[in-house]
Amino acid sequence: MNPTFEELLAFHCAPALAGIKAANLVSCPRQLVEDPEELVAQYGRTLGSRGIHLRILCRCPKGTLILVYREDRLARCLARPAAVRLLVQAGYPVGTVEELLDHLSRRMARRQGTFPHEIGLFLDYPPVDVIGFLRHGGKGCKLCGHWKVYGDAESARRQFQRYDRCRAALTQRVRQGYSLAQLFCAA
């Protein structure tokens, strides 16, 4: 059975939806979502009042990559000095979250065989881990979970467990019939 869009969001984006992570990325297969722009707009209207934003980063032959994020938390992530240095080195402007996301979207659209791994900064990964991944080509990490860890493995392990508990709780509620609007927009 194919998951619904809500189930996909709950599974892949629970930490961002719950506010314990700046952003999550979800790949929506073409056969699941006919009109991703309309769906993103609809969920943006519904969840936006709670500070939850959705944005299409790129449309690929097999589907659409959607970023689910908390703008205030994402702004703090991207303002960390190590993140700013890395983004500037990668050609990003010093600007607003929207300007940085625009630049990321352009990089993803024009990638030719390479992936913009600085996306880890947008996904709330520690800069030391993003830098380690870039420096070592994804090899030799201390721990592999939600991301490859090159820095503090114990802290990352605790964070992975927190994200997993959040995912389990949210997916269970959605399977019980609650909508994301009911879970995140109730007064």
| C-alpha distances in Å from residue 19, one per residue of 9, 124, 153 | 14, 12, 22
Is position 187 within any domain?
no
Q: Identify the sign of the CA torsion 1, 178, 62, 124.
A: negative
Is position 179 within any domain?
no
Tokens 């509620």: give the residue. Answer: 173
* pTM for the model: 0.93
Q: Which residue would you say has higher pLDDT here, 152 or 185?
A: 152
Task: Give residue 2's pLDDT.
Answer: 65
Does residue 153 register a pLDDT over 90?
yes
Give the pair of three-digit tokens for residue 120. 């880890």
Confidence of residue 1 (pLDDT cuts 50, 70, 90): low
Number of domains in the chain: 1
- 96-119 pLDDT, tens digit each: 999 999 999 999 888 766 788 999
Give the pair of three-digit tokens for residue 50. 């709670």
Task: Give residue 113's pLDDT.
Answer: 61
Is position 182 within any domain?
no
Least confident of 23-27, 45-49, 120-124: 45-49
Q: What does the DSSP 8-state code read for residue 93?
A: -
Domain with 164, as residue range(s), is 5-174
CB 30 within 8 A of CB 66: no
Is position 70 within any domain?
yes
Is position 184 within any domain?
no
